[in-house]
Amino acid sequence: MRGRHALVVMLASCGAEVPLEITQDDQAIVNGEVDTGDPAVVSVGGFCTGTLVTPRTVLTAHHCLGSGSTPGFDVYFGTRHGDGAGTYIRAVHQARYPGGGPGRGDLAMLTLASPGPATPIPVNDRDLAAYLDQPIRIVGFGVTHENGGGGGTKRKATARLLRVDAADMFASNSPSGTCYGDSGGPNFMTIDGVEHVIGATSYGTSACGTGEDASARTDFGHAWIQAYIAEHDPPSCDGDDRCATGCPAPDPDCACAADGLCTAACSDLATDPDCQGCAADGVCRADCPLPDVDCEPPPPPPPGGGSNDDDDGTGDGEGSGVIVGGCAIAGDVRTGIAGSLALLAFVFVRRRRRR
């Protein structure tokens, strides 16, 4: 871990001065490039970095925040903190991972006063041990070298996942790595085609640009992260890209999910677990929002009222026929010579057996 040479400074956060302790644990991107994208990556008060993970929740690092539950600073959405071009939203609540810090769950959560102007990034819950040597994207607002400078601008770079321990993941610092001010910022990895936050930048094993970069694993603290979100920014029954249950009407984000409701809001009832039996399965369900195909009446009989199902399966539909001595012989005289010959043969055989 880098040395903790603390310096107390006064940073202006949207017009308000906030006393902050900046330490060498507070990791900017070395050998990165200016990032005008990644709108969900934010500057936390001008001294750390974070990621919007729900409309009003930001994931950052434990060591970035003081004690208590009231942050007293703003979160910045944009490229250059303090340039006046971005969006500032007040952080109204905070929580740090219990007993956490660098090496033991360096995770923290912030609640914003209003939804952020970006699409949230999903938080990974899969065991990172299965993804060693995979590429990572790192993003942060920190300085660009060990001796400082360049902080406050969002930068991005790439790295690779080297190893993991119980609480942390470790990434290569070559060709790029994190530095002071990147703390709390995201380590991104694409899993099954979707980019997830897999870690929050925590510390470096040596000077910026050397050694390894350590980040708190989100899979390690995932249950705590989700519990915080459920309490402070739960899904709504409106469109917010999250599925809510217990809604009076289907949540548009999960009309086909297991929400206890089976309605026509789901365009494919066969995919809705609440609509089991409403698709073609041979069982008629009368309470489906759309007519169950299994409840359709049987087709009408063919014209003339005859049956298409003869014992021999020929389906000739030529009348009921006559049963003679246990054999079925057509009773319609229009069957012609074939029917007559069959009858004569039958009589002849019966007479011979009587002798």
Domains, the chain, with CATH or none: 1-234 (2.40.10.120), 254-299 (no CATH), 322-354 (no CATH)
63 pLDDT higher than 80: yes
Per-residue pLDDT band for 266 (boundaries 50, 70, 90) equals confident
Quick one: pLDDT at residue 4?
31
3-state secondary structure of 214: strand
Pairing of strands 33-34, 155-164: antiparallel
Average pLDDT over residues 143-153: 80
Quick one: pLDDT at residue 7?
29
Closest alpha carbon to 77 in 122, 119, 129, 26: 119
73 pLDDT higher than 60: yes
Average pLDDT over residues 45-64: 97
Whole-angstrom distance, CA of residue 264 vs CA of residue 268? 9
**pLDDT tens readout for residues 169-214:** 999 876 778 888 999 999 999 999 999 999 999 999 888 878 899 9
Per-residue pLDDT band for 47 (boundaries 50, 70, 90) equals very high
Closest alpha carbon to 107 in 138, 65, 69: 65
Closest alpha carbon to 70 in 36, 131, 111: 111
Closest alpha carbon to 155 in 134, 176, 184, 171: 176
Q: Spell out the residues 6+ positions from residue 149 whose beta carbon is closer than 8 angstroms to its own.
A: 143
Closest alpha carbon to 41 in 152, 178, 128, 140: 140
Burial of 228 (C-beta count, 10 Å sphere; 0-12/13-18/19+): buried
Which range among 242-251, 276-285, 286-295, 336-345 shows the weakest confidence by mean pLDDT?
A: 336-345
310 pLDDT higher than 60: no
10 pLDDT higher than 60: no
For residues 41 and 243, the model is more confident at: 41
**Sole residue written with tokens 């925590």:** 202
